[in-house]
Amino acid sequence: MKLATLAALIAAVEEGSLRAAARRVGCSQPALTRMIRELELELAAPLLLRSSRGVLPTAQGRVLYERAVRARHELEAAADEISQIGGHMVGKLHIGAVPLAVMLLIPEAMRTFVREFPHIQLRISEELYVAQLQKLRTGEVDITVGGIPDDLAAGEFYVEPLLHTEMIPAARQGSRWLEARCLQDLQHAPWVYTGTAHRAGYARALFERNGLEAPQQGALVNSTLALLSLVSTGDYVALLPRQIARQSWLASYVSPIDLREPGLPLQVGAIVRQELALAPVVRHLLTHLHRAAHHINRGDTLLS
């Protein structure tokens, strides 16, 4: 199985067109078609479904595509790490981060990291609820900065705690839900859930931690902007990290709800794939994340 043929399959799946895939890999369409056919003959399985509208991966093609993407990523990471060991700090890192990290930790860490290592390309993706860590497992991201799951399997990832926070309820200024004094008062409020499913998320965890049935979902979002827009303009309630909920720039729109129950405690940390944990660029990035977390832990304001 050749790297060039795997690259052809990756391009075909991602482009959805053999013509576009051929342009991407820099060959003719017949040449790309031959490479795909070689793979299919080698594996004795169809990899692409062809139609007048383009191509789609078969079940077998999807399996090979996902493994090929990860293999490509690993080879690129190996080349970067070899350069870094030799003192040439180049490469790429893809970070998945929760809003608290995106708004407070990441800007400060990037400011100092990029100044020290200008040739490392950082890509940041926002993740509202990362307990499943699926993107980390598949290699789509290299590092996740977010809540450390309680049920994280020992040894699966390298974990470095960074800071403690507390997820607290919030609603728009003037909302009737600001009058709530206990969590039960909010059980029938329309809640904004974060993540990809109602069964997961911090709101559900907060209610269950206090022996209450989780409220019905008013909206399901996977974007900080969507969450803040819904809460600040509608009748919704949502959980926000305490450090964000009490930011001065947000006070005109959203207010924390003072309840007698404590918020949901959350340990925020950096979670790294084991094979990357000792890579020089990762160790340096973790140092800069710790530095930013130290400022937050001692009460410094990095975002006004």
Domains with residue ranges and CATH for the chain: 3-81 (1.10.10.10), 89-163+267-297 (3.40.190.10), 165-265 (3.40.190.10)
pLDDT for position 2: 85
| Cα–Cα distance, 163 to 219 (Å, whole number) | 29
Comparison of pLDDT for 134 and 175, the residue scoring more:
175
Residue 249 confidence (pLDDT) above 50: yes
pLDDT at 227 over 80: yes
Nearest CA to 14 out of 44, 57, 49, 50 is that of: 57
Residues 274 and 157: their CA atoms lie apart, in Å, by 5
pLDDT at 129: 67
pTM attached to this predicted model: 0.67
Tell whether the model's pLDDT for residue 303 goes beyond 50: no
- Mean pLDDT for 60-64 is 92
pLDDT surpassing 60 at residue 149: yes
Which of 91, 204, 221 shows the shortest CA–CA distance to 143? 91
The amino acid occupying position 107 is P
Residue 139 is predicted with a pLDDT of 78
Task: Give pLDDT, residue 196.
Answer: 63
Residue 89 has pLDDT above 70, yes or no: no
Mean of pLDDT values over 117-126? 88
pLDDT winner (highest mean) among 1-10, 69-78, 123-132, 192-201:
1-10
pLDDT > 90 fraction of the chain, expressed in percent and rounded? 50
C-alpha dihedral (131, 60, 18, 50), degrees to nearest 10: -120
Q: Which of 33-37, 216-220, 289-293 has the lowest mean pLDDT?
A: 216-220
Question: Which phi and psi angles does 139 have, rounded to 5°?
Answer: 85, 5
How much is the pLDDT for 131?
52
| Least confident piece of the model among 2-16, 149-163, 181-195 | 149-163
Question: How does residue 147 score in pLDDT terms, banded at 50, 70 and 90?
Answer: confident
* Average pLDDT over all residues of the chain: 87
- pLDDT beyond 80 at 257: yes
Place of tokens 């006070």: 251
d(CA 177, CA 173): 10
Q: How confident is the model at residue 299 (pLDDT cuts 50, 70, 90)?
A: low
Q: Which of 163-177, 198-212, 290-304 has the lowest mean pLDDT?
A: 290-304
